[in-house]
Amino acid sequence: MDLLNTLVDKGLRRELPSREEALAVLATSDDDLLDVVAAAGKVRRQWFGRRVKLNYLVNLKSGLCPEDCSYCSQRLGSKAEILKYTWLRPEQASEAAAAGVAGGAKRVCLVASGRGPTDKDVDRVAKTIDAIKADNEDVEVCACLGLLSDGQAERLREAGADAYNHNLNTSEATYGDITTTHTYADRVDTVHKAHAAGLSACSGLIAGMGESDEDLVDVVFGLRELDPDSVPVNFLIPFEGTPLAKEWNLTPQRCLRILAMVRFVCPDVEVRIAGGREVHLRSMQPLALHIANSIFLGDYLTSEGQAGKADLEMIADAGFEVEGTDQVTLPGHRGGGAGCGSGATDGCGPGGVCGSHESGEAAQVAEGAEARTDLVAVRRRGAGTDLAPNA
């Protein structure tokens, strides 16, 4: 297929595909799916070999968010029956993080619901970072606290944070359809603040909200322009009690095409399969490892993930290896640092837009596919509970 040969050549040269080429990847047929995965896999192996980076989420503060992001189980007015609790103490967060590190996680992602941190919140997170690194000095820490004010990214960097996550989620043109309490430009500004402070920037997207192929390409091209080290790809988890509970627009095949498009547009960054992989990729998850080089281990912010042991078995069975703390994630030309970590989840991540932007394919999928509501499970263990975490 000439298209795929062209995209592989461009990916190996770090050359940006055209919008038409990116759209063509999303339009490929199921008959060509394995060819698409194989082509994206060549680009992935060029820059990341067969390594898979493991990341582990710690939800520092769950629920009670004043923002109205339509996709989020923690949003203002959410009826989703999720765990709700205020800030974990530093020692509680460190204990939760230790479970992920013991399971092989190289990065711990500290997430808190809310519009953005106060200066007091930054102080609190700084103490948490210190506690985690005191127990696990080699672990990388990524913070995901919402919109940053001037000087806060610098303070997090001084406190020992390695990275900051803030997702774009969807295209600028459709952003107002999913959130009214802040703007796409606000999110871009926070990613710029993280960059400027010397933090590894992490910013990704959410698919499956009824958006068009053009919207997906727009947000991924926007991410390429921002140049984050890491791009988490979330697949909407349609929580009951949120405005997007009925948005079941994805098949495993479409998820693989979306991941491949992201890899071709962002060939040398850490592409992470984030929230919703178990719900939408299902038994096709091992194929996705041929495209992405990073996943979350265990549970997400407010939903349960695949068992950590099953994640490790899947990686080994697919012929990949877990990236060690002594290995460098990114290629040398990107500074050799690590990608980021926490845009991936049902709380800070997966999102949706209204049905008026639904593409022809998405509408078809919604009609023909059975909604797997049985795969959406609210997290009842780990941080904020007395039960052991899944790692």
Q: What is the CATH number of the domain that holds 131?
A: 3.20.20.70
252-262: average pLDDT:
98
Q: Is residue 259 part of a domain?
A: yes
Rounded to 10 degrees, the C-alpha dihedral 128/93/350/201 comes to 30
Cα separation of 239 and 223, whole Å? 26
Could you tell me the pLDDT band of residue 207, with boundaries at 50, 70 and 90? Answer: very high
189-198: average pLDDT:
97
Task: Write out the binding residues.
Answer: 65, 69, 72, 109, 142, 202, 272
65 is catalytic: yes
**302 contacts 62 by C-beta, under 8 angstroms:** yes
Please state the separation of Cα 170 from the chain's center in Å: 13
255 is catalytic: no
**271 contacts 53 by C-beta, under 8 angstroms:** no
What is the pTM (predicted TM-score) of this model? Answer: 0.88
Instruction: Report the greatest alpha carbon distance in the chain.
Output: 55
Q: Which residue among the candidates 72, 144, 340, 348 is catalytic per the annotation?
A: 72
Which residue is associated with the tokens 């609790």?
85
Q: Is residue 383 part of a domain?
A: no
- Among 112-116, 144-148, 217-221, 318-322, which stretch is predicted with the lowest mean pLDDT? 112-116
Question: What is the domain extent for residue 82?
Answer: 2-13+20-375
- 310-340 burial, b if ≥16 CB within 10 A, otherwise e? ebbebbeeeebebbeeeeebbeeebeebbbb
Q: Which residue among the candidates 272, 277, 334, 379 is catalytic per the annotation?
A: 272
Q: Which residue among the candidates 44, 51, 65, 334 is catalytic per the annotation?
A: 65
Q: Is residue 165 part of a domain?
A: yes
Domains in the chain, number: 1
109 is catalytic: yes
Cα separation of 378 and 380, whole Å? 6
Q: Is pLDDT of 339 > 50?
A: no
340 is catalytic: no
Q: Is residue 380 part of a domain?
A: no
Q: Is residue 30 part of a domain?
A: yes
266 is catalytic: no
Which residue is associated with the tokens 């499956």?
208
Q: Is residue 215 part of a domain?
A: yes
Cα separation of 253 and 279, whole Å? 13
Cα separation of 66 and 113, whole Å? 9
Q: Is residue 134 part of a domain?
A: yes
Q: Is residue 384 part of a domain?
A: no
**199 contacts 156 by C-beta, under 8 angstroms:** yes
